[in-house]
């Protein structure tokens, strides 16, 4: 019942629930982040009686907002594992295809790449890689980070966080 109802959520329903303060959903700073919290909770509850494959099959049948939130949750889990960053970014790309006007995916792509870049630089230095290799890798990833933040700002100009991240990167 809950999974079916969650799967039927659309932009209007989500906005109404967020505006009316549905059981903690309005604690999230943005509507999509609120839906991610609800989906994350549903994943935790469903995980007691479903395999990961069954849960994925269930969420793949939902409408775009819920499916994108589920894929975002998977991406968020994967990005914690350095060797899985590409898989996480692939899930974000799927999210972008489902909801092309949602800025969150672009913001988090930039944020995760930026964190990965910081970790990569530290690793390169620890391994004594030549400076030229370090700078070449840094420049290309940094360009992706800036591009992601720019797209997030373009999609949601009033969202402060990507604007501030972009401003900070451009001033370096």
Give residue-wise pLDDT tens across range 27-38.
556 778 878 888
31 lies in which domain range? 1-92
Distance CA 28, CA 111 (A): 18
Residue with tokens 């401003």: 167
83/122 same-domain check: no
Average pLDDT, 10 consecutive residues per value, the chain (172 residues): 48 53 54 83 82 88 90 92 85 95 95 81 62 61 90 94 92 80
Structure tokens belonging to residue 154: 């373009």
What tokens appear for 128 in the block? 């004594």
Q: Indicate the pTM of the whole model.
A: 0.77
Contacts of 170 (CB under 8 A, 6+ apart): 146
Q: Are residues 7 and 87 in the same domain?
A: yes
Residue with tokens 């990833």: 141
26 and 61 in a single domain? The answer is yes
């Amino acid at each position: 019942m809950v999974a079916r109802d969650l799967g039927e959520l659309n932009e209007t329903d989500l906005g109404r629930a967020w505006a009316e303060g549905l059981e903690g959903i309005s604690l999230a700073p943005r509507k999509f982040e609120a839906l991610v919290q609800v989906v994350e909770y549903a994943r935790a509850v469903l995980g007691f009686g479903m395999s990961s494959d069954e849960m994925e099959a269930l969420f793949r049948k939902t409408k775009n907002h819920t499916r994108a939130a589920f894929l975002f949750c998977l991406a968020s889990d994967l990005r914690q594992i350095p060797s899985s960053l590409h898989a996480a970014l692939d899930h974000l790309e799927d999210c972008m295809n489902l909801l092309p006007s949602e800025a969150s995916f672009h913001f988090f792509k930039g944020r995760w790449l930026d964190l990965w870049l910081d970790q990569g630089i530290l690793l390169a230095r620890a391994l004594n890689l030549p400076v030229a290799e370090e700078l070449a890798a840094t420049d290309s990833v940094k360009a992706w980070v800036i591009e992601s933040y720019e797209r997030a700002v373009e999609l949601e100009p009033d969202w402060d966080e990507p604007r501030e991240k972009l401003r900070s990167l451009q001033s370096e």
